[in-house]
Amino acid sequence: MLEQLQCEVRKFGTDAILHFGRPLTAHLIETGRWLQKWGNSRTLVAAGTFHSIYGTEEFREKAVSIERRPEIKGMIGEEAEALVYLFCLADRNALFSGQAAAPYSVPLPLMGTRVDLDELTFAALLELEAANIVDGALHQPDAPPTAGAFWLARFDSVQHRLSEGAYHTAREVLAGWSANDVRDRLRMEGWPGDDAR
């Protein structure tokens, strides 16, 4: 499944877009791989492999414009694309703002609106964020020293919404995060590491 998704996402030039010293393709596929490893649905794995294809608040580079949503839906399915759309446009900080019960919601700042989420979508976005952050933490040596603790506290606050695999992996990766370890890993994997995004 991931091999096919990798072929599809590469059609949008993701090999030529750098994401913290690696091609964006590598980050997208590894995000999907974590979701698959944690036992998530094919839909969520597909969403993970396209999760920032439209750009996000933090990663502004767009591999494809929002106007091409129908094309992405045709590749990964309507449900997966809807998760990608939300992940790219949402202020994801709102996922961690103490929303204790449904209805959940997230703002879409660029659209000037807020979207209500059902419980499954809310949990799927948190799981997707966990995979995104885990891969990022393993490959971003320029993150501030406080990044590990910052994200660890956030995932602790939503532990009951994450799969066991996602939560335990996030704890393992983030609790021992160090820039030097990341640089060593990047060198072992053959990535330049400290290059610009």
> Cis link prior to 103 (omega < 30° from 0)?
yes
What pairs with residue 107 in β-bridges? 114
Name the residue ranges covered by the structural domains of the chain. Answer: 2-189
Quickly state the pLDDT bin for 97 (edges 50, 70, 90).
confident
At 197 the pLDDT is 38
In this prediction, residues 55-81 reach a mean pLDDT of 92
Q: Inform me whether the pLDDT recorded for 10 exceeds 90.
A: yes
For residue 190, what pLDDT is reported? 79
Q: What is the mean pLDDT of residues 19-26?
A: 89
pLDDT of the residue at 183: 84
Neighbour-count burial for 130-155, b at 16+ CB within 10 Å, e otherwise: bbbbbbbbbbbbebeeebbeebbebb
Whether the per-residue pLDDT at 26 is higher than 90: the answer is yes
Please check the confidence at residue 196 and state whether its pLDDT lies above 60. no
The pTM is what?
0.92
Per-residue pLDDT tens over the stretch 155-177: 999 999 999 999 999 999 999 88
Give the bridge partners for 22, in sequence order.
Answer: 19
Predicted confidence at residue 144, as pLDDT, reads 86
Q: In sequence order, which residues have a C-beta less than 8 Å from that of residue 63 and are 6 or more positions away?
A: 9, 12, 13, 14, 17, 24, 53, 54, 55
- State the CB neighbour count (10 A cutoff) for residue 118: 11
pLDDT-derived band at 192 (thresholds 50, 70, 90) equals: low
CA distances to 89, 90, 91, 132, 197 from 58, rounded to whole Å, are: 11, 11, 10, 12, 11
User: pLDDT, tens digit, for every residue of 27-57?
Assistant: 999 999 999 999 999 999 999 999 999 988 8
Could you report the per-residue pLDDT of 121-150, keeping only the tens digit for each?
999 999 999 999 999 999 888 888 899 999
The residue-averaged pLDDT of 18-23 equals: 87
CA distances in angstroms from 126 to 81, 104, 144, 159, listed in the order given: 16, 12, 22, 10
